[in-house]
Structure 1
Amino acid sequence: MQGRIERLLARLAQEKVDAFLVMRPENRFYLSGFTGSAGALVVTPRQVYFMADFRYFEQAREQCSLCQVVGFKESLYDALAEKLPQWGVSRLGCEGDFLTYKQVVTLQEKLEKIPVTPLYGLVEELRQVKDPGEIELLSRAVALADRAFEHILDYLKPGVTEWDVAVELECFMRRLGARKNAFDTIVASGPRGALPHGVASHRVICEGDLVTMDFGCLYRGYNSDLTRTVVVGSPHPRQKEIYDLVLAAQRAALAAVRAGVKACEVDRAAREVIASAGYGENFGHSTGHGVGLAVHEDPSVSKKNETVLQPGMVITVEPGIYLPGWGGVRIEDMVVVEEQGCRILTRAPKDPLPVVPV
């Protein structure tokens, strides 16, 4: 934690503020270890303060060993107005991409003579590169999703609904130790597979359907994100053709991942494979994204993002093809960026097209 605070303080010095107010839950946890749902961190060069109300005061004292915990009774803003001058703060930075306009206005009104400067992406930038402990927790979250995929292959059959599949995946991961889902589980079967974010419906899965499942879990603060497309029964030639094309695109992108490469270059590697086969218009989303304390975080692996990948970044690689009225295919792995390539965390089988026997 101390190293993270020191890196943040170096950035704050560049922004010419005396302190930084942290309220985004993921950032609060990253800098303090606090797992509760409310509270604020005030980072200054001399001390880090954690401000907690009655509900979380004792929890903050237990979890935030590097912070001075300060309790307040009613209004966080009133407490900040009282404490910041005592802490020598004359210019306060805040999370401009998290606080609402109303919160910023209220904060400024309460602080009166202390100017409030919205800042953007300071902690999120630090979070992009994971340390070994974070990578270990991400690996465990991925392992839970891998096991859930193995389990669901025995559960899938004609007659179950997408909703049934989603519930089974979620309950299975919870039984293994996941705290909750990383996001609303996507189960898109048959023609609904053309919906990239086709959250599970009550559609009944039929023999011959392609089924795309995109799911993950939260484990000790860190997320997993896995997509696999399977076929229920024997695949038709076109299903295999589209699947093999997406798999080739994913392999091309995975081969492009390494430290020093721009995120957009990884996206281009996948996109060129799909476009050269005539399906460029049917791949309309980015090739991936960062994963960590949030399931979607920087860096985006997209056409326009020129962020240079660094060792320790954890990203997804997930190209897809979506054909309205027919269905779709997406394949997604989580990988760790390394100097000479990437280490694939996801172990769920994908080659050849997974078949659910009927």
Structure 2
Amino acid sequence: MMATRIQRLQQRLPKLYVDAFLITDQTNIAYLTGFNLLQGDGFLLVTEDQAIIVTDARYQLALDEFDSDEVVATISQDYYHDLDRLCQAMQIAVLGYEESISYRLYDLLDEIMTADLVPFNQLLEKMRLVKDSTEVAKLQRAADLHTAGFRYLLEQIRPGVSERHLANLLDYWMKEHGASGASFPTIVASGLNAAKPHATASDKLLADGDILTLDFGYFVDGYTADMTRTVAVGSIDPELRDVYQIVNAARQAVIDQVRVGARGDKLDAAGRRLIEEAGYGDEFNHGMGHGIGLAVHELPASYGPGASQIKLVNNEVLTVEPGIYIPEIGGVRIEDDVVVTHAGPRVLTAAPTDLIIVGD
């Protein structure tokens, strides 16, 4: 029988030289337990043989319905003084914690805890990097919904429609069809706005001849896809047509290199080289992609020219998103979500990547 996520963490505690581990990040708590606790509403304490959620009375009914063989819960009116009492009662002398906690929380723990405190950098995030088959299936469902959402939005794109209206239509459609919410503000960037990699949807109206970039991510059953497609509204600048082909070729070149053991910098170079050889090296000003899963940015946080230390592992899921951005005419980005396997890449996002012209 495979070890649960909590058991995998418990097995590591002796090697980390800690008696217990404190988890306060809501995504990490959900990953380990399946229970959704809003950020700041308590914590999870994992010892070598126990896992205890401490929260307040607002979660009593949810905890009553929470069916777990390995997690117990306790209701508290003072989370961290109760943490100290728990640690003393269980003779926890050394307590590990997430390095990402706020200074305010660290200051409180440092003041009240009897146990010694030891920070760990991205311990849980490194566990989350490798997806199991259930997680990959959820990411595939999310990606499928993104593909369907893109096809829906194509029917709504025409001159005179605002970027914001398109973003709102997509948001409504995605939520009506199973998404719980966006994992980042949807990017709908047309014309010159498409030259800004992180433009947000504005009141600008689409015009004939605009390039239009759509970059969106939505949670489905806790997991988020992240997809970008760029389309033409009518007849676009010939240079943008050429740029589109270069970006699309770069995207495919990177995907073709995705395999277990591939290095992050080599992966990046496969696509960046094509963009540089075409004379647009300075117009590609971000990394080639990042990990996704329970959050839209998971490990690896980014991979680019300097990512020689990143080596892909089986069942890691990452984005591939080259782009070229020319301030005078607009920009192009195309992004897919890819599973790393021993057999090579498995692309989750099935929306077409050939240039689509709408409004003709």
Normalised to the residue count of structure 2, the TM-score between the two structures is 0.95
Task: Give, in angstroms, the shift of residue 58 of structure 1.
Answer: 3.1
For structure 1, list consecutive stretches of 5 or more residues without a partner in the other structure. none
Q: Which residue of 2 aligns with 1:188?
A: 189
1:75-114 deviation digits (Å, cap 9, x = unpaired): 21111111111122111111112x1111011012111x31
Q: Which residue of 2 aligns with 1:89?
A: 92
> Structure 2: how far apart are the matches of 1:64 and 1:320?
45
Query: For 1:57, what is the secondary structure of its paired residue?
Result: helix
> Structure 1: how far apart are the matches of 2:200 and 2:171?
13
> Structure 2: how far apart are the matches of 1:283 and 1:61?
51
Q: Which residue of 1 aligns with 2:104?
A: 102
Query: For 1:261, what is the secondary structure of its paired residue?
Result: coil
Q: Which residue of 1 aligns with 2:73?
A: 69
Q: Which residue of 1 aligns with 2:222?
A: 221
Q: Which residue of 2 aligns with 1:280?
A: 281
| Residues 152-171 of structure 1 aligned to structure 2 (within 5 Å) | 152-171=153-172
C-alpha contact (below 8 Å) 2:226/2:336 kept by paired residues: yes
> Structure 2: how far apart are the matches of 1:91 and 1:118?
11
Partner residue of 1:301 out of 289, 300, 303: 303
* The 10-residue stretch of structure 1 (262-271 or 1-10) with the greater mean CA deviation from structure 2: 1-10
Query: Aligned letter for 1:301?
Result: Y
| Residues 1-358 of structure 1 aligned to structure 2 (within 5 Å) | 2-37=3-38, 38-63=41-66, 65=68, 66-72=70-76, 74-97=77-100, 99-111=101-113, 113-299=114-300, 300-305=302-307, 306-351=309-354, 353-358=355-360
C-alpha contact (below 8 Å) 1:8/1:122 kept by paired residues: no
> Structure 1: how far apart are the matches of 2:60 and 2:67?
10
Query: Aligned letter for 2:79?
Result: L
Query: Aligned letter for 1:49?
Result: I
Normalised to the residue count of structure 1, the TM-score between the two structures is 0.96
Query: For 1:286, what is the secondary structure of its paired residue?
Result: coil
Q: How many residues align?
A: 354
For structure 2, list consecutive stretches of 5 or more residues without a partner in the other structure. none
> Structure 2: how far apart are the matches of 1:310 and 1:2?
19
C-alpha contact (below 8 Å) 2:29/2:37 kept by paired residues: no
Task: Give, in angstroms, the shift of residue 125 of structure 1.
Answer: 0.3
Aligned-residue identity in percent: 41
Query: For 2:160, what is the secondary structure of its paired residue?
Result: coil
Query: Aligned letter for 1:350?
Result: T
> Structure 1: how far apart are the matches of 2:12 and 2:48?
11
> Structure 1: how far apart are the matches of 2:188 and 2:12?
42
Task: Give, in angstroms, the shift of residue 14 of structure 1.
Answer: 2.5
Query: For 2:198, what is the secondary structure of its paired residue?
Result: coil
C-alpha contact (below 8 Å) 1:256/1:269 kept by paired residues: yes
Query: Aligned letter for 1:71?
Result: I
Over 3 Å off, 4+ runs: none
C-alpha contact (below 8 Å) 1:40/1:50 kept by paired residues: yes
> Structure 2: how far apart are the matches of 1:47 and 1:10?
12
> Structure 2: how far apart are the matches of 1:328 and 1:235?
11
Task: Give, in angstroms, the shift of residue 2 of structure 1.
Answer: 4.6
> Structure 1: how far apart are the matches of 2:285 and 2:235?
28
C-alpha contact (below 8 Å) 1:263/1:309 kept by paired residues: yes
1:3-38 deviation digits (Å, cap 9, x = unpaired): 212322343322211111111111000100002313
Task: Give, in angstroms, the shift of residue 236 of structure 1.
Answer: 3.3
> Structure 1: how far apart are the matches of 2:213 and 2:176?
23
Query: For 2:52, what is the secondary structure of its paired residue?
Result: strand
C-alpha contact (below 8 Å) 1:50/1:60 kept by paired residues: no
Query: For 2:134, what is the secondary structure of its paired residue?
Result: helix
